[in-house]
Amino acid sequence: MTPGGPPPILFDVYGTLLDTASVARACETVAPGRGAELGALWRARQLEYTWLRSGAGRYVNFQAVTEAALRYAVRASGARVAEDRVSALAGAYLSLDPFPEAAGALTRLRGAGHRCGVLSNGLPEMLLPALRRAGLADLLDPVLSADAVHRYKPHPRVYGLGPRALGCPAGEILFVSANGWDIAGAGWSGYRTFWVNRAGAPDEELDAPPWASGPTLDALAELLGAGDPDGIR
Amino acid sequence: MTPGGPPPILFDVYGTLLDTASVARACETVAPGRGAELGALWRARQLEYTWLRSGAGRYVNFQAVTEAALRYAVRASGARVAEDRVSALAGAYLSLDPFPEAAGALTRLRGAGHRCGVLSNGLPEMLLPALRRAGLADLLDPVLSADAVHRYKPHPRVYGLGPRALGCPAGEILFVSANGWDIAGAGWSGYRTFWVNRAGAPDEELDAPPWASGPTLDALAELLGAGDPDGIR
């Protein structure tokens, strides 16, 4: 980072750049008419399992957590799915849709001089193909994974990966997430934070409010004065 | 504990002995027609906040977590409640209904020689009045609180309170909870576990299944051969 220049930005991936709700399509194939419901339960359990395992010091990687959460969600939903089908369905996390504004906003932020990377719970083996398919991989560097420290967000060791990789204090990095609890975790670890509050949810009551928030990644680009790179800023 | 005698039992409190859904009545006073919904959101956020804070090393006590979760739930529900009213409403956690079979089952288990205590996230200042009002306090000793270690379940330091207080290894203690994730946490820490699966939920996918499970505390008493203390066992 250039001292005094545009701050580097680390993005959360799931729910922030990639739309976890887009697993609903794949879920429809095993639970017709209830794909969205199954996908939401899957995602909720996936998060819970990361919190529980990290909090208890019982790390298994994000692929294993994602498959376990899906097995739970499938059984809770009453869908009948063969075990090998569950593993295949878990592959939906490798082909999530990007949010429609993601590529454009990242391009504008880079054009304005911001280094853009990611800091995610996901395994590199999950993140890289997913970001590639979504057309975002070339816009993002570094790709930092919680797997490097065998903890999950909001453990401070995970957020500690950012300053280490970027060579500057957390307070000089902007962390961007659509997950309110992730904003709190990053704030606890000293980052400046931007909350992509896509759902218009209330602030979490975790004593670490975001520095700023907005409904989309475009709102972040606008806030940082990152105009259309083809136009005049 | 008598070596080879009936094992001591530690119970979770919220959702296991006391019915957290009974806050719905109090919630009705601020969200008419939506008390159950507000109460469920409150409880869900209360759990999430314990996991997040414990996992990040950002402990605040259970009273503070309970009030913060309620503030979030009230705002998310769109209810209009004055700040001082929120604190008063949080007091609902001091007068939760016991599950109908709790006193009877505890009495039978004690009659069969089991020492019965609790191991809870709650502060002693919350647990003791709540258990007293519910008519259970005299049946339970010790009352162990996560506050002693400034972590929340499923952190192993919390479960470590049991063996320390009872003077025997976790494997000789039966831990009883209606929360599937709490069963996993206790199992990870070496306890034998009984899951009061009140809702008929699927097993959690956390690699620590319960030793046994049943729909109520009576099922536990029956499993342990703890008959009616007024009858013949």
| Band of pLDDT at residue B212, cut at 50, 70 and 90 | very high
Mean pLDDT of chain B: 94
Is pLDDT of A171 > 60? yes
- DSSP annotation string for chain A: --TTSPPPEEE--BTTTEEGGGGHHHHHTTSTT-HHHHHHHHHHHHHHHHHHHHHHT----HHHHHHHHHHHHHHHHT----HHHHHHHHGGGGSPEEPTTHHHHHHHHHHTT--EEEEESS-HHHHHHHHHHTT-GGG---EEEGGGTT--TTSHHHHTHHHHHHTS-GGGSEEEES-HHHHHHHHHTT-EEEEE-TT-PPPPSSS---SEEESSHHHHHHHTT---TTS--
> Which band of pLDDT confidence, cut at 50, 70 and 90, is reported for residue B231?
very low
Contact: A206, B154; criterion CB under 8 Å = no
| Residues of A forming the active site | 12
**Residue B128: both structure tokens together:** 């003791």
Q: Domain segments of chain B: what residues? A: 9-17+99-225, 21-94
Where residue A80 falls among pLDDT bands split at 50, 70, 90?
confident
Mean pLDDT of A57-86: 93
Mean pLDDT of all residues in B59-74:
97
Residues B93 and B56: beta-carbon distance below 8 Å: no
A48 touches B: beta carbon within 8 Å = yes
Task: Report the predicted TM-score, pTM, of the whole model to 2 decimal places.
Answer: 0.95
Tell me what pLDDT residue A3 has: 59
B74: closest chain A residue by CA: A202
**Tell me, what amino acid is at B206?**
L
Cα torsion angle, B105, B106, B110, B114, sign: positive
Other Cβ atoms less than 10 A from the Cβ of B157: the count is 15
pLDDT tier for residue A231 given thresholds of 50, 70 and 90: very low
Q: Which CATH class is domain B9-17+99-225?
A: alpha beta
Nearest to B154 among A52, A155, A181 (CB): A52
The Cα A103–Cα A133 span in angstroms is 12
Q: What is the mean pLDDT of residues B166-193?
A: 98
Say yes or no for a CB contact (<8 Å) between B68 and A201. no
pLDDT higher than threshold 60 for residue A230:
no
CA angle B217, B207, A30 (to 5 degrees): 95
Task: Please give the share of chain B, as a percent, with pLDDT higher than 90.
Answer: 89
Which CATH entry fits the domain spanning A21-94: 1.25.40.10, 3.60.110.10, 1.10.150.240, 1.10.4190.10? 1.10.150.240
